[in-house]
Structure 1
Amino acid sequence: MSRFNIRTARRAATFEGGAGFLRTEKSELFLLAVANMVGQQTFYESGGDRDDRYTQLVRQLAVSDPDWTAGLLGWLRGEGNLRTAALVGAAEFAKARLQAGLDGRSRQVVASVLQRPDEPGELLAYWTARHGRNVPKPVKRGIADAVQRLYTGKALLKYDTASKGYRFADVLNLVHAAPAADKPWQGELFRYALDRRHNPDTAVPPPSERMLTAHRSLMAVPVDRRRAVVTAPDGAARLAEAGVSWEALAGWLQGPMDAAAWEAVIPSMGYMALLRNLRNFDEAGVSDAVAEQVAARLADPEQVARSRQFPFRFLAAYQHAPSLRWAWALEQALAHSLAHVPALPGRTLVMVDRSGSMFDRASEQSKLNRADSAAIFGTAVALRAARADLVQFGTNHRRVPVAPGESVLRVLERFGNLGGTNTAEAVRAHYRGHDRVLIVTDEQYAPSRLGDPTAQVPAHVPVYTWNLAGYRVGHGPSGAANRHTFGGLTDQAFRMVQLLESGAQAAWPWEQAAA
């Protein structure tokens, strides 16, 4: 990640007209991959333009450096937890390799990015929409490998729904997946998936699939008796045994999700589902006793780690939950999600971009913007550092007071919308002999008589930029000489500071994992 602009930097201009620097192809692709939500319009760049830039870079590097590109795509879907960019990237990787007459690697790359049972169908939908219905063998085989790993009875209930363009049966028909050698029961499951697709009224699950059998029995309960099932002493157990999700429960009841319905399904809900439904719990009147159980799960450090939720998810939940009974649990969860932010020694200057373009949302599905994401990470670094000055900047700039041990959520209330992007002036005004400078931004600064923002800091002092938008042009040189640019919204990236300052090789994230 610190290898950005390792060749001689090429001059360009930011969208605001400031003197900027073009990146190497790998650097540009990495930043775009971790920042781009496919199809999403950004402040300065249309969704189509960003998507085209992304696919062109993937296809170029799939041919010129397939090992690096395969590593990037696997990391995106794994530790990076970025689903759509990984799936699109794998499809374009395969297309470019096949067009170049290079068959190797495509099967493995396709299989590596498919980590959830609905994703084989998602990748097929993308491929057929973009490249036509002729799916080449390496792509089919990669999907079939993933099907053997991912298709279970529980997955069938959760993801094989009528809303999908490609149902499980459609995937099986297209890629001709055989049961895995160590999963002989998949043969019956695959046959049931096909029967369920084409003969839903008469399809009977195999006896070996107890969850599917329990689900079929529950679906047969008359509508006027279903609420009695939910409120019975064994109601929660029956819902869990039948694999009924909260979304499916609402349709099965054919009526509103009241407190009793939520309390019956909450024990079997996943972490992310709990986090997203706090408002619904409050509006339905879920009891304090059940709320305490939910809060305990939200605050559990092991569950936070397994959930792989980005820190800004907890801020979004905090902002939109009506009651305060979730506040302490969400504060604890946010702190656990930032556990890897390092405690930096010496003096650190943390600059958080709060200009207008940063208030763009990362995706249409998210209510949170890049400005708040930047504030979360900037605050976390400032709270962990031995001595830190936290500054927000835009047209103007000002310090954000932080007390040791203070709540991250409380500090976030002190940030505002500061208009333009006078990064260089802000850095010049606040740099006072610090040991390092961290800038969390989209890098699109306005023209300045001072030059680029990183030039306001002596050459021997490290300047680390976190780019949250993935635009093509950066605000300064990077990759050497104490100037480094990183991307993404995970706290794992902050480990790079310690690696660089300890003299270690700050390789790309997937290369570190393999080292």
Structure 2
Amino acid sequence: MRFNFFSRAAAPVVNHEGAPAFALTPQMELYAAVATAALSDQFYEKADVRLLRLRALVAANEPLFVARLAVYAREHLHLRSVPLVLCVELARHHRGDGLVSRLVARVVQRPDEITELLACYAQANGRSGPKTLHRLSKQLQKGLALSFNRFDGYQLAKYDREGAVRLRDALFLVHPPAKDAAQQALFDQLVRGELPTPYTWETELSAAGQRAYATEADRHAAIRTTWEALITSGKLGYMALLRNLRNILAADVSAVALAQVEATLADAQAVARSKQLPFRFLAAYREVKALPGGRVAGVLTALETALAHSAANLPGFGPATRVVVACDVSGSMQQPISARSKVLLYDVGLVLGMLLHSRCQHVVAGMFGNTWKRVALPRGPVLRNVEEFYRREGEVGYATNGYLVVQDLRQRREAVDKVMIFTDCQLWNSQWDSSNSLAREWAEYRRTVAPHARLYLFDLAGHGTAPLEVRPEHGVALVAGWSDKVFDVLVALDNGGSALTEIEKIEL
């Protein structure tokens, strides 16, 4: 299957700022919307509007493409909620074969995703609570049954949480046949609410904190001992470690335990297995950096090393490759990626941009708002460079004059190979001068300075439009997402593929 970037007769439209833009094809629009979906209110688009757009796009695309995209989002982009939305919507539109059941069994990788999928199904079909789900799609039911068979007692107990739909409810709805007597015993325990309390870092710390102590110093010592035991046991997952660095440092764990924390954080294989999105490291870095004391430096260094592993083998950027990395710092980029996160779209763009910067030997980096400003930075320290950008973002204002990046290159007569723009793609000229736009500047730059230059738009919001026509013959490509996997797309593009090439490879 091949997918074009745009319809050859794509008519110009306008973006959320009222500036001329180009609409994406249904495939590219769904890809961009999924890769950037937090399913929470954004600057330009409310969560319910994004959800409705996702539903319409699923209906407008071929079922196999939707299924492949859902697997890609779960297994490569490490997203959890939006693949479940795709499963539910695909079940509403596609029948007659086992595609949906295979997809559900592939996408559901944790027990709590069973209940989340059922809650999503209830909402999509105007129902509420487990008792209204008796008419569950047969293909969803079959896929969930296969998922149930994969989980052991520890996993079921760990993720048996309060909610509109409990795992017990799901068991009654799905009726998964047990694969053996041992699993049937687990299912019976789940029904009776008798699954053993799992050993997790949460339960261990909760138990330590709830005991009676003679003094507060004794309580602190017990919590420190518990953290040390969790660290040395190897049972503290990478995500839990990343999210609890402040607590671990506050507990004043031993030098040996802290050294193990730093070694685990910086271990390349542990980073790969953890499937953490790059901006998670920035969030941890900021939490730790704000702490007093002399033990912080080693943890910050470990976080730098961890993030560097994300782009350690980025091909296509040799010593002779001339690259421009431009980060959008406009007002719409100062938006949290989700209601519970302190990380902004702007942060995501900076992290990805500085990851790229760290691997390029001939690179110009900068930021644009009202103006475009080049910023000289050392190659290597990704998180420290992000913080330097963050400190200086007010120096260029908060408009979205992305055309200035290319205009500057044209006026300098500076030929480069690749221009990378990290943005929400809602670019416009704050002077309302239609003679200056990214589309015009790029065409002129390629005509007069660098005929073989390529422009890569890293779409961090997925609003369905681009500021110029994305076509290989124009040297323009669009990449979407918050993961380091966006760099895999660059490889596909350099080899003549598209942003959808990796999705096409998914087998179901």
TM-score normalised by structure 1 residue count:
0.84
Match status 1:126 vs 2:93: no
Separation in 1, partners of 2:376, 2:260:
34
2:438 aligns with: 453
- Whether the 8 Å contact between 1:2 and 1:480 is mirrored in structure 2 is no
The runs of at least 4 consecutive aligned structure 1 residues that moved more than 4 Å come to: 504-507
CA displacement at 1:6 relative to structure 2: 4.3
| Residue 177 to residue 307, structure 1, CA distance change in 2 (3 Å) | same
Secondary structure at the counterpart of residue 342 of structure 2 = coil
- Whether the 8 Å contact between 1:349 and 1:388 is mirrored in structure 2 is yes
| Residue 41 to residue 191, structure 1, CA distance change in 2 (3 Å) | same
- Whether the 8 Å contact between 1:342 and 1:381 is mirrored in structure 2 is no
Separation in 1, partners of 2:182, 2:374:
62
Select 1:69's aligned residue among 50, 66, 69.
66
Secondary structure at the counterpart of residue 491 of structure 1 = coil
Separation in 2, partners of 1:333, 1:499:
25
* Deviation readout 1:325-384 (Å, 9 max, x if unpaired): 411110100101222433514211221111111111111222111111111221222231
Select 2:485's aligned residue among 482, 492, 508.
492
Secondary structure at the counterpart of residue 421 of structure 2 = strand
Match status 1:246 vs 2:201: yes
Select 1:443's aligned residue among 415, 425, 428.
425
1:429 aligns with: 408
Separation in 1, partners of 2:145, 2:8:
41
2:230 aligns with: 265
* Deviation readout 1:257-290 (Å, 9 max, x if unpaired): 7212222333321000000001111222222221
Select 2:82's aligned residue among 82, 85, 108.
85
CA displacement at 1:74 relative to structure 2: 1.2
| Residue 192 to residue 488, structure 1, CA distance change in 2 (3 Å) | same
1:300 aligns with: 267
2:216 aligns with: none
Paired residues for 1:340-379 under 5 Å: 340-345=313-318, 346-379=321-354
* Deviation readout 1:170-200 (Å, 9 max, x if unpaired): 21111100123xx55212111111122xxxx
Select 1:195's aligned residue among 192, 195, 199.
192
Match status 1:384 vs 2:359: yes
Separation in 1, partners of 2:418, 2:402:
16
1:223 aligns with: none
Separation in 1, partners of 2:98, 2:37:
27
Separation in 1, partners of 2:469, 2:437:
9
Separation in 1, partners of 2:49, 2:375:
36
Secondary structure at the counterpart of residue 118 of structure 1 = helix
Q: CA RMSD in A?
A: 2.2
CA displacement at 1:514 relative to structure 2: 5.7
1:286 aligns with: 253
CA displacement at 1:509 relative to structure 2: 1.6
TM-score normalised by structure 2 residue count:
0.85
2:174 aligns with: 175
Paired residues for 1:383-402 under 5 Å: 383-402=358-377
Select 1:475's aligned residue among 446, 467, 473.
467
| Residue 506 to residue 442, structure 1, CA distance change in 2 (3 Å) | closer
Structure 2 residue identity aligned to 1:155: Q
**Gap runs ≥5 in structure 1:** 197-202, 206-211, 216-242
| Residue 288 to residue 3, structure 1, CA distance change in 2 (3 Å) | farther
Structure 2 residue identity aligned to 1:302: Q
Match status 1:155 vs 2:160: no
Separation in 1, partners of 2:497, 2:428:
34
Alignment identity in percent?
33
Separation in 2, partners of 1:264, 1:422:
53
Secondary structure at the counterpart of residue 22 of structure 2 = strand
Select 2:243's aligned residue among 273, 276, 288.
276
CA displacement at 1:104 relative to structure 2: 4.5
Secondary structure at the counterpart of residue 324 of structure 1 = helix
1:419 aligns with: 398
Separation in 2, partners of 1:413, 1:136:
48
Separation in 1, partners of 2:124, 2:494:
44
* Deviation readout 1:40-83 (Å, 9 max, x if unpaired): 1111111111111112211332xxx1111111111111112111
1:236 aligns with: none
* Deviation readout 1:67-121 (Å, 9 max, x if unpaired): 11111111111112111000011001101225xxx45522222222111121111
| Residue 437 to residue 120, structure 1, CA distance change in 2 (3 Å) | same
Separation in 2, partners of 1:504, 1:152:
41
- Whether the 8 Å contact between 2:489 and 2:502 is mirrored in structure 1 is no
* Deviation readout 1:13-50 (Å, 9 max, x if unpaired): 12222211111111111100011112x11111111111
